[in-house]
Amino acid sequence: MNLQRVRPETKEDLLKSLYQGTICHLPATPLTRELIADVSAAISSTLGDDFRHAQFRLEPPEFFDRVGSLRKRFYTEARYHFWIGRLLDEFGFEIERIAFDPLRLRLVMHKGHDDPRAAPIYYAHRDTWYAHSQAEITWWIPLHDVEEDETFVFYPDWFDRPVSNNSEIFDYADWVSRGTSLRIGWQNRDHGLIAAYPGHTGPLEPGREITFAANAGDIVLFSGSHFHQTRKQATGRSRFSLDFRSVDLVDHAGNIGAPNVDNRSTGDAVVDYIRLS
């Protein structure tokens, strides 16, 4: 189970491979370069041209509020939903079979791990612990070149083996009962202290580790069942990336996907996914 640099020929082969634990790291395409140019322009208009250093120019509350407005924009506006539709089409997916959780702007700040309110960002976890489908695929795209110490790490030995976790604390209905802010992500600076973010518990015995660097616009595809963790970084700049989640609805309905070895979250996040068809 390693990084694969070549995309399988068909959509069916791609999904089968991802469900079995393959991680695909694919080069940027003209479409992803166009997407990150669009998103980067929006970020620059809000944070300034050198947005990777904006955390040092702005006071923390203002920086957080500006980033929060960007997160809401990318997650909710229809134009960014259609960007995802174009990407899915480029990969051969039949849009009538696909639902997706929209674009999320991810920001890992220089020494962000020193802020207790950001602690959940660094939990080792599976995306499925947030009531996502076993057929969920995560698409991750950096907005700029990133080194290994600016990305995240996979622990592939645990893909199909249970790890100690507290995923039972996550109930999707409760998560969304207080509005959309938790779905969009980090609209409240204190959510990291008061909301239920599941993660690994106890000592971490990682086994093999898969790390990677990436170029702007690259695409990293992986199953939501992968056990992984954002890396703490102190590079003197913030890391900006996009991601979204997609689910083949036929596979979801047929319980086809990656193995569920330890997910005890409740509810179904797919009910609120976007369906372009």
Quote the pLDDT of residue 193: 66
d(CA 113, CA 127): 20
| Token output for 244 | 């979204």
- If you search the block for the tokens 């009962």, which residue do you land on? 177
Cβ–Cβ under 8 Å, residues 18 and 137: yes
Quote the pLDDT of residue 212: 96
Q: What is the pTM of this model?
A: 0.95
Cβ–Cβ under 8 Å, residues 99 and 247: yes
Cβ–Cβ under 8 Å, residues 222 and 137: yes
- If you search the block for the tokens 């395409």, which residue do you land on? 29
Quote the pLDDT of residue 188: 67
CA distances in angstroms from 95 to 271, 274, 276, listed in the order given: 16, 11, 7
d(CA 230, CA 154): 9
d(CA 196, CA 99): 25
> What confidence tens digit (pLDDT) does each residue in 48-96 have?
999 999 999 999 999 999 999 999 999 999 999 999 999 999 999 999 9
> What confidence tens digit (pLDDT) does each residue in 71-84 have?
999 999 999 999 99
CATH code for the domain defined by 3-272: 2.60.120
The pLDDT tens digits along the chain (277 residues) read 678 999 998 999 999 999 999 999 999 999 999 999 999 999 999 999 999 999 999 999 999 999 999 999 999 999 999 999 999 999 999 999 999 999 999 999 999 999 998 899 999 999 999 999 999 999 999 999 999 999 999 999 999 999 999 999 999 999 988 777 777 776 766 676 668 899 999 998 999 999 999 999 999 999 999 999 999 999 999 999 999 999 999 999 999 999 999 999 999 999 999 999 7
Quote the pLDDT of residue 10: 94
Cβ–Cβ under 8 Å, residues 262 and 60: no
Phi, psi of 160 (to 5 degrees): -115, 25
d(CA 41, CA 45): 6
